[in-house]
């Protein structure tokens, strides 16, 4: 087994991180939960109700860690759904523009061919908003057809084999 030494000190004598190593202390954490069901049939991006949270960074050097857990599904019918993460009105954590053509630059998406079932989705992103003003992080969705659903199966059958779920968005200020 190899022993890792920090600044050539033995493990027992290390009492602090070497200078210049960020500690990444969390200044504040805000979470919003969306336990209700949401349906979106728009082919243009619209806000996903209940998945929006605002935070006011204490320093322009702070970073904001965004964590999203959501339970989307889609109506049967071979359609795409698209979801974007935004800081205020700016899309973040999206695909690159080089060579995108008319393809949608989005955070994640899906295509339904097998049925109206839920899939759990996790999104994590570390943002540098460079502001001390209130900043809102939110999710938007659109479809190519049919309907995007949140927190329920696409056909919403009343059965003990089906679910109602909850989604959430959490933001954490990482201090400089």
Residue 80 covered by a domain = yes
For residue 79, give the CATH number of its domain. Answer: 2.60.120.1340
Residue 15 lies in a domain: no
C-alpha of 127 from chain center: 11
Average pLDDT over residues 50-72: 96
Rounded to 10 degrees, the C-alpha dihedral 125/130/134/137 comes to -20
pLDDT at residue 62 greater than cutoff 70:
yes
Rg (CA), the chain: 20
139 in a structural domain: yes
Residue pair 49/164 in contact (Cβ under 8 Å)? The answer is no
Q: Is 3 a member of any domain?
A: no
User: Does residue 62 sit within a domain?
Assistant: yes
pLDDT digits (tens, 9 = 90+) for 48-59: 999 999 999 999
Q: What is the mean predicted confidence (pLDDT) over 13-24? A: 55
Using 50, 70 and 90 to split pLDDT, how confident is the model at 80?
confident
Give domain status of residue 27, yes or no: yes
State the residue range of the domain holding 74. 23-174
Based on the structure, what is the number of domains in the chain? 1
Question: Is the per-residue pLDDT at 67 higher than 90?
Answer: yes
| Predicted local distance difference test score (pLDDT) of residue 117 | 66
pLDDT in tens, 138-166: 999 999 988 888 998 877 778 888 888 99
pLDDT in tens, 87-109: 999 999 998 887 778 888 999 88
Return the pLDDT at 1. Answer: 45
Higher pLDDT, 15 or 33: 33
Q: Identify whether 1 is part of a domain.
A: no
CA distances from residue 164 to 36, 82, 86, 120 in whole angstroms, order as listed: 9, 21, 26, 12
Q: Does residue 4 lie in a domain region? A: no
């Amino acid at each position: 087994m190899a022993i890792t030494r920090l600044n050539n000190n033995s493990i027992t004598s290390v009492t602090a991180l070497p200078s210049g190593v960020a500690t990444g202390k969390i200044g504040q954490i805000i979470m919003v939960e969306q336990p209700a069901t949401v349906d979106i049939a728009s082919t243009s991006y619209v806000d996903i109700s209940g998945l929006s949270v605002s935070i006011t960074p204490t320093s322009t050097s702070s970073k904001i860690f965004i964590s999203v857990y959501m339970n989307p599904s889609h109506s049967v019918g071979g359609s795409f759904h698209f979801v974007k993460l935004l800081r205020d009105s700016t899309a973040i954590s999206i695909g690159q523009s080089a060579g995108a053509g008319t393809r949608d630059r989005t955070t994640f998406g899906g295509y339904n061919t097998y049925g109206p079932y839920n899939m759990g989705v996790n999104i994590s992103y570390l943002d540098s908003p460079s502001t001390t003003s209130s900043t809102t992080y939110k999710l938007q969705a659109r479809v190519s057809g049919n309907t995007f659903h949140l927190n329920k199966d696409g056909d919403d059958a009343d059965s003990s084999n089906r679910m109602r779920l909850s989604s959430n968005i959490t933001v954490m200020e990482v201090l400089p």
